[in-house]
Amino acid sequence: MAALQAEEEKLSAQKAQEQRRASEKAAAAAAAQTERELSAARKAEASQAAAETARQERARLKEKAVAEYKGILERFPGTAAARTAEARLKAMGVAVVLPTAGSAQPVAALDGSGVSQTLSLEVAQYAAFEFELQTPAAPVAVARRASIPFELQNRGNGQDRFYLGSGFPAEFNARFAAAASPEQVINQTPELAPGERFKGLLYLQVPPATIDGLRIAHPIKAASQFMAEASQSRVVSLNAAAPLLRAVIKPSKTALLPGEKVEYTVTLLNIGSLTAEEVTLRLNFPAQYQPVAYEPAGFRQEMQAALVQDGLTLKSGESRTFTVAFQLKEEALAKEELIVRADLVNNALETKGSFLSSAAVVLPVSQLALRMAHEQLTAVPGQTVYLPVRLTNRGNRYEQISLTAHPAAQQKVTIYHDQNRDGLHQPGEPEVASIGPLGPKEEAALLLEISTPRAALDGAVEKLAITATTEPGKQNAVATAETRFTYSRPVLQLAMKGREGRMVPGELLTVDFDILNQGSNLAKQVEMEVTWPDQVELVTASQTAGQSTSGNSLWRFNELGAGEKRVIKASFRIKSGTGVGTGVQLKSRLTYQDQAGNRY
């Protein structure tokens, strides 16, 4: 009987163990199914299109899950599935504590002592804590490390660790540390016993570019390691303290003529709550300005484009004023807007601010210049002369320019545009009465064609002028250039010197023909023709005539310079048989031409 009873007890224990394993497996499956249904409910709730439906479905599923978890506690007490169900119910806010049965089957004693049953209870761990944060009362200086104390107390019933997280952006470089070891960065507390406190520090650095007085608010979070759902957040609220630099740049004039000077007054202000140190002031000026008198103000010139002053310090509320002068260059164009930019660089914080002055406008200037290639010309009367002229727009705006020639009496002047600038009139170069528009500092090449009068006397002087005028407007510019014409031509005189009176036949008459160039220029193709009547014959001549016939001889000279004189001696004789009282005349005629081909 004893062996049989022992075998029955062994079988009963194995059966109870198999039932327990099956119960635990069923409980785990039920818990997993419930968790899946809850997850699906959360996803349904996240959809805005079916928000209300999801809420109702989640409430239904929550009730179902609560019932399922309670059923697991009732059916499978003391198992791991029951402990998980109890934790889930606490996370859902349902306070349920059920006993865990050590044995669900009563065992009858065979010794006649009756039936006994034992009920065993186990207290489950839960997570709870207090999270206190000490928000800074004073503003936090930018670019400096700030510490914010906090305290965390484990209010659960078992040992627990707590994760620490920050919602500050990365540029704040937020870090956690224990108050006892401030240099060691942590992301969780050490293990805390129930009721134990942890004192920590939140280190952060407000970014240098943060504006003074800016309110900053970001959360930090603590969460239980045992139960991740047990978490708390606190908002860290800060006020930033920083220097705040401003610059005001004012020109003494807002309208400038080329060549004028203008002074700029630069006022620096620190309207922030902290002192600004290691500040660099850089004044960037336009290329049309030439800086003058900047060294007394403490500036140095940098790269021909900026004036720089280093090492400035401005306390909170302090202002400083600087004055620098510029001269507007002559090549500045009309209506250009000139702006000076002040860059304030806080080298300590590595921040920069830029500020602009009000615009100064370049006033329009009209100015012309005319220049002739020759201030004095010598011309042969009747000659056509070409005179190069340069017209320059010295103003600072585009100009349409009219041209007027002022010739002397009997002169004719034509103005051409010398497009290839060679000083010669080429085919296709147009006759012009105006030219333009010419840009600032642009030059145009002109060519004057001057036809001189043939009747001009040798040594006569005349003036020729040309005038350039801008189009009518508020400002008119006029430029005039002139040249002096001196006329130069050969002037030949012929003088016949010989005895006058009565002569008898056969007597010789010697005649000197004096040719003198009294002009200021070379005579060419000089011809002297002498004619006589039949009663006279040419006996001899000092120079052989180029052409000679009965009663006529022609002497030629290729050239006769200014002031040069030629003399030809010729001897004549009255022929025999000439009657008394017969009148005899010798005649001479002188012709020549100048270098222009004019014949005199």
In a domain, 122, yes or no: no
Encode pLDDT of 55-102 as tens digits: 677 777 777 777 777 777 776 676 766 777 777 777 777 766 555 444
**For position 585, what pLDDT does the model report?**
83
Indicate yes or no: pTM above 0.75: no
Task: Determine the Cα–Cα distance for residues 488 and 385; give it in Å rounded to an integer.
Answer: 13
Domain boundary among 188, 217, 241: 241
Same domain membership, residue 144 and residue 226: yes
Check which CATH number belongs to the domain holding 502 and give it: 2.60.40.1170
Is residue 25 in some structural domain? no
Find out whether 493 and 564 touch, Cβ atoms under 8 Å.
no
Q: Which residue has better confidence, 151 or 600?
A: 151
Is 261 in the same domain as 284? yes
Residue 324 backbone zone (phi > 0: left; psi -120 to 50: alpha; other: beta): beta
Q: How far apart, in whole angstroms, are the C-alpha atoms of residue 93 and residue 191? A: 25
Q: What is the pLDDT of residue 105?
A: 45
Q: Point out the domain boundary residue: 431, 452, 487.
A: 487
Q: Are 390 and 374 in contact (CB under 8 A)?
A: no
Q: Which of 36-40, 149-153, 309-313 has the lowest mean pLDDT?
A: 36-40
- 211: exposed, middle or buried (Cβ count in 10 Å: 0-12, 13-18, 19+): exposed
247 pLDDT higher than 50:
yes
Provide the domain count of the chain: 5
Among residues 212, 241, 270, the one where a domain terminates is 241
Looking at the fold, whether 382 and 321 belong to one and the same domain comes out as no
Rg (CA), the chain: 61
Query: What's the whole-number average pLDDT of the chain?
Result: 85
Decide if pLDDT at 38 tops 60.
Answer: yes
Same domain, 135 and 166: yes
528-555 pLDDT, tens digit per residue, is: 889 988 888 888 888 888 788 888 888 8
Q: Is residue 388 over pLDDT 70? A: yes
| Same domain flag for 273 and 350 | yes
Residue 75 located in a structural domain: yes
Residue 217, pLDDT above cutoff 90: yes
**Same domain membership, residue 422 and residue 322:** no
In a domain, 135, yes or no: yes
Give percent above pLDDT 90 in the chain: 42
| Closest among 277, 209, 247 to 343, alpha carbons compared | 247
pLDDT tens-digit profile of 106-136? Answer: 444 445 555 666 666 667 888 899 999 998 8
Same structural domain for residues 465 and 514? no
Summarised one tens digit per residue, pLDDT across range 417-458 is 999 988 888 898 899 999 989 988 899 999 999 998 888 888
Residue 221 lies in a domain: yes
| Structure confidence at residue 228 (pLDDT) | 85
Q: Would 57 be classed as within a structural domain?
A: yes
Identify whether 303 is part of a domain.
Answer: yes
Separation of alpha carbons 141 and 145, rounded Å: 8
Q: Residue 474: pLDDT band by 50, 70, 90 thresholds?
A: low
- What is the C-alpha separation between 168 and 216, in angstroms, rounded? 10
> How remote is the C-alpha of 317 from its chain's centroid?
34
Residues 499 and 475 in one domain: no
- pLDDT of 338 > 50? The answer is yes
Query: What are the tens digits of pLDDT across the range 155-178?
Result: 988 899 999 999 999 999 999 999
Which CATH number do you get for residue 436? Answer: 2.60.40.10
Structural domain of residue 524, as residue ranges?
492-593
Judged against a pLDDT cut of 60, whether residue 254 lies above it is answered with yes
**Residue found under tokens 């609220």:** 237
Report pLDDT for 108. 43
Residue 376, domain member (yes or no)? yes
Outline where DSSP puts E strands in 62-174: 100-101, 107-108, 115-116, 119-120, 129-133, 140-141, 145-154, 162-166
> CB within 8 A of 390, min separation 6: which ones?
369, 370, 371, 373, 443, 444, 445, 446
Residue 356 shares a structural domain with residue 253:
yes
Question: Which tens digits make up the pLDDT trace of 340-371?
Answer: 999 999 999 989 999 999 999 999 888 899 99
The CATH number that applies at residue 319 is 2.60.40.740
Is there a single domain that holds both residue 272 and residue 291?
A: yes
Pair (456, 513) in one structural domain:
no
Is residue 598 very low, low, confident or very high in pLDDT (cuts 50, 70, 90)?
A: confident
d(CA 215, CA 340): 34
CA 190 – CA 463 distance, rounded (Å):
110
pLDDT confidence band for 235 (50 / 70 / 90) = very high
Shared-domain flag, residues 146 and 198: yes
Distance from chain centroid for Cα 205: 35
Separation of alpha carbons 176 and 167, rounded Å: 12
**CA quadruple 32, 33, 36, 37: dihedral, nearest 10:** -140
